[in-house]
Amino acid sequence: MTAGRGRKGERAAEPAGGVRAAHAAGEPPRVPGPAHREGAADGGAGAEGGRSGSRRAGPGGTAGGSAEVRALIVAAAVPLLVRHGATALTTSMIARAAGLGQGAVHAAFADKQALLAQCVIAAVQPGRTAESIASGDPEEPLAARLAAAAEALRAQAARMRLVCAAMPYEIHGPLAGHPVLDAEFGRVRTALVALFTAERDGLCLPPQRLADAFQSLLTPATLPGSPEPLATRDLVALFLRGARGAADRTGDAE
């Protein structure tokens, strides 16, 4: 019997250069990627040019597929989006970078706009900024903790600017008020309030207002979820007296 056909119940002989050849060469065997697993699960939708089928959009514009596959697609799409822009970005480019078939991309997201929206959310990296602010050493001076918080906020804003600049406002603009973004900016505000609360005895404004002011200074107003700007009276008080208030202005005479 020929090696390529085999009897029922037996595996066909592996092609040259397959897993056995890899072992012989001292290389680890290749594990089938998400494209193979996705294609097996949906009857071949992950293959290039596979069946499109009927897809019903789920929460956030997702049409199907595992969260792992969607995350893989978004991770591949973000750098391509920044490099080429939304108009030039194609499904085939994303699929190739993710190691998937185009069918897997179409199955995971209802349309291109839904995928781009997820790219914005991915750029925010939900939870990372708030965690960075909250993990500061409480024994450090307030100035040092604010400097670290500012770096974290600026990094987050820079990531969002890169992604939002690569797509029309019609796509990222409506994301204002998105539950994921609202929750993220709420977490950041909570972390900042806690930071200022630890120094409340020397502050000229309530910790909540100082947190809003600090966040608004470091988050461009055009980004989704930006806090409401500080009132003029409070802003003037902040800049004239500083966050610690007039009682702590020891260097004024110098």
β partners of residue 109: 62
Rounded CA separation 3/11 (Å): 10
* Side-chain half-sphere CA neighbours of 50 within 13 A: 23
Binned at pLDDT 50, 70 and 90, residue 17 comes out as very low
Q: What percent of the chain has pLDDT over 70?
A: 63
Question: Would you kindly state where each structural domain of the chain is located, as residue ranges?
Answer: 56-123, 125-243
pLDDT top residue among 136 and 59: 136
- pLDDT, one tens digit per residue, over 200-250 is 887 888 999 989 988 887 765 545 556 666 676 775 677 556 766 644 444
pTM of the model: 0.62
Rounded CA separation 103/92 (Å): 10
Per DSSP, 223 falls in state S
Rounded CA separation 11/18 (Å): 14
Helix (H) or strand (E) holding 81: helix 67-84
User: Which amino acid is located at 83 in the chain?
Assistant: R
- pLDDT, one tens digit per residue, over 80-137 is 999 999 999 999 999 999 999 999 999 999 999 999 999 999 999 999 999 999 998 8
Task: Tell me what pLDDT residue 56 has.
Answer: 41
Task: Tell me what pLDDT residue 189 has.
Answer: 95
What's CA 203's distance to the chain center, in Å? 34
What top-level class would CATH report for the domain 56-123?
A: mainly alpha
* Side-chain half-sphere CA neighbours of 169 within 13 A: 2
- pLDDT, one tens digit per residue, over 75-85 is 999 999 999 99
> What does the buried/exposed string (b/e) look like for 45-70 if buried means 16 or more CB atoms within 10 Å of the residue's CB?
bbbeebeeeebeeeeebbbbbeeebb
User: Which amino acid is located at 14 in the chain?
Assistant: E
Closest CA relative to residue 213, chosen from 223, 196, 198:
196
